[in-house]
Amino acid sequence: MTSPIRTERHGDVLVIISDNPPVNALGQAVRAGLATGVEQALGDDSIRAVVIRCDGRTFFAGADITEFGKAPQSPSLPEALDKLEASDKPVVAAIHGTALGGGCEVALACHYRVAVPSAKIGLPEVKLGLIPGAAGTQRLPRLVGAEAALPLVAVGDPISAKKAQAIGLIDEIVGEDSLEADAIAFARSKIGQAVSRSSEGTANEDGIRNPDIFDQFRAQNGRKMRGFDAPNAAVAAVKAAGELSYADGVKKERELFMQLMNGTQSKAMRHYFFAERAANKINDVPADTPLIPINKVGVIGAGTMGGGIAMNFLSAGIPVTILEMQQEALDRGTSVIRKNYENTAKRGRMTMEQVEGAMGLLTSTLDYADLADCDLVIEAVYENMDVKKQVFAKLDEVVKQGAILASNTSYLNVDEIATATQRPGYVLGLHFFSPANVMKLLEIVRGANTRDDVLATSMKLAKKIGKVAAVSGVCPGFIGNRMLSQRQAQANKLIMEGANYWDVDDVLLEFGFPMGPFQMGDLAGIDIGWHRDPSKVTTVREALCAAGRFGQKNGKGFYDYDEARNRTPSDEVKQIIADFAAREGNAQRDISKDEIRERLLYPMVNEGAKILEEKMAQRASDIDVVWINGYGWPLYTGGPMFWATTVGLDAVVAGLEKHGLPASHYLRQKADAGNGFD
Ligand code: NAD
Atom of ligand 1 nearest to the CA of 326: 11
pLDDT confidence of 281, banded at 50, 70, 90?
very high
Average pLDDT over residues 107-125: 98
- Whether ligand 1 lies within 6 angstroms of the CB of 302 is answered as yes
Nearest to 625 by CA among 417, 412, 474, 459: 459
Residue 68 has pLDDT above 80, yes or no: no
Q: How many angstroms is it from 304 CA to the middle of ligand 1?
A: 7
Average pLDDT over residues 407-418: 98
Average pLDDT over residues 608-620: 98
Residues catalogued as catalytic: 105, 125
Average pLDDT over residues 365-380: 98
Atom of ligand 1 nearest to the CA of 383: 32
Amino acid 278: pLDDT:
97
Closest CA to ligand 1's atom 12: 301
Residue 72 has pLDDT above 90, yes or no: no
Contacts of 597 (CB under 8 A, 6+ apart): 507, 511
Report the relative pairing of strands 159-160 and 362-365 from DSSP bridges: unpaired
Atom of ligand 1 nearest to the CA of 388: 18
Q: How many angstroms is it from 426 CA to the middle of ligand 1?
A: 21
DSSP label of 197: -
User: What does the pLDDT look like over 395-410, one tens digit per residue?
Assistant: 999 999 999 999 999 9
Average pLDDT over residues 430-444: 97
Write out the H or E segment, with its range, that includes residue 518: helix 517-524
Domain 5-262 has CATH 3.90.226.10: yes
User: What does the pLDDT look like over 225-261, one tens digit per residue?
Assistant: 999 999 999 999 999 999 999 999 999 999 999 999 9
Mean pLDDT of the chain: 96
User: What does the pLDDT look like over 148-193, one tens digit per residue?
Assistant: 999 999 999 999 999 999 999 999 999 999 999 999 999 999 999 9
Q: Identify the three-state secondary structure at position 321.
A: strand
Q: How many angstroms is it from 276 CA to the middle of ligand 1?
A: 28
Q: How many angstroms is it from 382 CA to the middle of ligand 1?
A: 4
Q: Probe ligand 1: pick from 364, 381, 397, max atoms within 8 Å of CB?
A: 381
Average pLDDT over residues 461-487: 98
Residue 492 has pLDDT above 80, yes or no: yes
Atom of ligand 1 nearest to the CA of 302: 9
- Whether ligand 1 lies within 6 angstroms of the CB of 410 is answered as yes
Residue 32 has pLDDT above 90, yes or no: yes
Residue 65 has pLDDT above 80, yes or no: no
Share of the chain above pLDDT 90, in %: 95
DSSP label of 617: B
Residue 1 has pLDDT above 80, yes or no: no
- Whether ligand 1 lies within 6 angstroms of the CB of 380 is answered as yes
Average pLDDT over residues 183-211: 96
pLDDT confidence of 547, banded at 50, 70, 90?
very high
Distances (CA, A) of 89 to 122, 188, 199, 202, 441: 26, 10, 16, 21, 51
| C-beta of residue 407 within 8 angstroms of C-beta of residue 417 | yes
Closest CA to ligand 1's atom 40: 434
Q: How many angstroms is it from 409 CA to the middle of ligand 1?
A: 9
Amino acid 64: pLDDT:
87
Closest CA to ligand 1's atom 39: 434
Average pLDDT over residues 586-600: 96
Q: Where are the domains of the chain?
A: 5-262, 297-477, 500-583
| C-beta of residue 616 within 8 angstroms of C-beta of residue 475 | yes
- Whether ligand 1 lies within 6 angstroms of the CB of 409 is answered as yes
Contacts of 438 (CB under 8 A, 6+ apart): 308
Domains 5-262 and 500-583 share a fold: no
Spatial strand order in the sheet of 427-432: 362-365, 320-323, 297-300, 376-379, 404-407, 427-432, 441-445, 468-472
Average pLDDT over residues 60-84: 90
Closest CA to ligand 1's atom 29: 380
Which residue type, as a one-letter code, is found at position 12?
D
CATH class of 500-583: mainly alpha
Average pLDDT over residues 546-570: 96
Closest CA to ligand 1's atom 28: 380
Average pLDDT over residues 456-480: 98
Q: What's the CATH superfamily of 297-477?
A: NAD(P)-binding Rossmann-like Domain (3.40.50.720)
- Whether ligand 1 lies within 6 angstroms of the CB of 655 is answered as no
Average pLDDT over residues 113-142: 97
Q: How many angstroms is it from 414 CA to the middle of ligand 1?
A: 16
Amino acid 528: pLDDT:
86
What are the phi and psi torsion angles at 367 (to 5°)? -115, 120
Q: What is the spatial distance between Cα 481 and Cα 489, in angstroms, rounded to a whole number?
A: 12
